[in-house]
Amino acid sequence: MEIREFDGTNAHTLIDVKTDLDAVLSSNQRYVYGLTVNAAGKIVLRKMNMDKGSIGLFN
C-alpha cells in the first residue's frame, strides 16, 4: 500500500499487503489495516499506526 503526490510522484510505502485483498483506514484515521500472507502461507491482518509509523501483525 502506497501513498503518492497528486501527480504520481514521491511514492511512500505504508505497509506490505497482498494486492488482491482489501486494506482500510480506521474511522479515527490513526491506523491502516491490510491483509497479507505470512511465512507459513496464512492470511494475516497487518496494522500500521499512522501517528508513530509502527507496524505489527495479528497472527
List phi, psi (to 5°) of 43: -75, 130
Report the pLDDT value the prediction gives residue 58, as an integer from 0 to 100.
65
Domain that holds residue 12: 2-58
Task: Give this prediction's pTM.
Answer: 0.69
Burial class of residue 32 (count of CB atoms within 10 Å of its CB; 0-12, 13-18, 19+): buried
In this predicted structure, the answer to whether residue 52 has a pLDDT above a threshold of 60 is yes
In this predicted structure, the answer to whether residue 59 has a pLDDT above a threshold of 60 is no
Q: Give the pLDDT confidence of 5-35 residue by residue, as tens digits.
A: 999 889 888 888 887 877 888 899 888 898 9
In this predicted structure, the answer to whether residue 56 has a pLDDT above a threshold of 60 is yes
The answer to whether 46 and 37 are in contact (CB under 8 A) is: no
Higher pLDDT, 43 or 20: 43
How many domains, in total, are found in the chain?
1
For residues 2 and 17, give the distance between their C-alpha atoms in angstroms, rounded to a whole number.
Answer: 10
